[in-house]
Amino acid sequence: MLKVFNTLSGKKEEFKPIEPGKVKMYVCGITVYDYCHIGHARAMISFDVITRFLRHIGYDLTYVRNITDVDDKIIKRADENGETPAQLTARMIDAMHEDEVALGNKLPDIEPRATEFMQQIIDMIQVLVDKGFAYQGETGDVYYRASKFAEYGKLNNRKLEEMLAGARIEVEASKEHPADFVLWKPAKAGEVAWESSWGKGRPGWHIECSAMSTHCLGAHFDIHGGGPDLKFPHHENEIAQSEAATGEQYVNYWMHCGAVRVNNEKMSKSLGNFFTIREVLEKFNPEVVRYLMVSSQYRSSIDYSDASLKDAKTALERLYTALRGQEVASEFTPSEFTQRFKEAMCDDFNTPVALSIMFELVRDLNKARAEGSAEAPLLAAELKTLAEVLGLLYQDPEYFMQNSTIAEGLSAEEIEGYIAERAAARKAKDFARSDEIRDLLLEQGITLLDSREGTTWTRN
């Protein structure tokens, strides 16, 4: 039985899809005005793992994740760069996909862009206006009447007045109520804009997701996901406008991943602890970053630091060491490790417990290898299969062990040259030179591992 923590109810619930055997999931994507940061990586990887496991246990899943490609930040950044918003977003979308593939993610099935769904957005706003849930203010902006939606606040389990206290709510004279939020805003001269019955303009952020999700998945679907900062006001507003427009329950299960903290502090450009995915991948193998993200349950916060990445690297090396030089069977009969792994993942995608089971499997694999048992290739295959659910162990073990850290020192060719020279020195019984080469490489962060098959190496 799969159990999922539902933000809407505040507890774990048995997962029951609307249509047996099929799952429809929408996740809020990126506003593409800059390179993705490690907070984005958390959400990307979290929902990639969820997608992988749902498919692993037999669900026919449709995964939709939107792209916000029209926004005030996009317009401002494009103007600063001396390019059009379309040029900026095209570059950033390509960069986002590159980052995601590098991290081992599979791309969503459908990736709608706001600019391609403008008619659906305008149509939904018109429905809200016709039903009395929206109005045009004196400034020309079209607002949603938050107070008219009786269940406003149900996702955050708070009343409207409680949510307004201390929240950053944009107060404008043309609003009927401080909680009312914009659905359509008039364009300034020279800005990208679309024609509508309320004048030339562009949509507010919240309405974009409602229009795209319901168009791609229907008025009522199974899962809606996103980062922890989206619960209010974004997802609360999505519920209000979607259910008012369609008259149906919008989503059954709301899922939110945890935040990323940097050295126990909130990630912020002002604190100088803000890192893009690209900056991190200049120092660490992408799979090390992925391991760090899945080593905590998706709803937990993660503390990002060089120390935590080094711990992730060490743990991942233990897994790869078990596969290094090991034959992997093409077929195997799942053992109790697979059953326990599935039980852990069925408990709200508990990846830390799932990983602990994989390390138990590694212990048995190492023992089987040492004994020369025929079980070793079968256990290796089972390990690889379970790891694939988490998006791990997809690299060649030898390659990973030599590239788990992105080093600026010796190249692989230079290291292999030293190893060949050392082998020649040992053959000539020049053990002083052999030791000298080993020590030289160790100073460069390279550890040599001698075995009957020869010498391999890894970066420290």
Q: Which residues does the annotation place in the binding site for ATP?
A: 269
Which residues are documented as binding site?
A: 28, 209, 234, 238, 269
Neighbouring C-beta atoms of residue 343, cutoff 10 Å: 14
Any idea which residue has 């852990």 for tokens? 344
Strand partners of residue 5: 12
C-alpha count within 13 angstroms, C-beta hemisphere, residue 115: 13
Beta strand 221-226 pairing with 22-27: parallel
Binding-site residue set for Zn(2+)? 28, 209, 234, 238
CA angle 219, 223, 225 (to 5 degrees): 115
**What is the C-alpha separation between 119 and 322, in angstroms, rounded?**
54
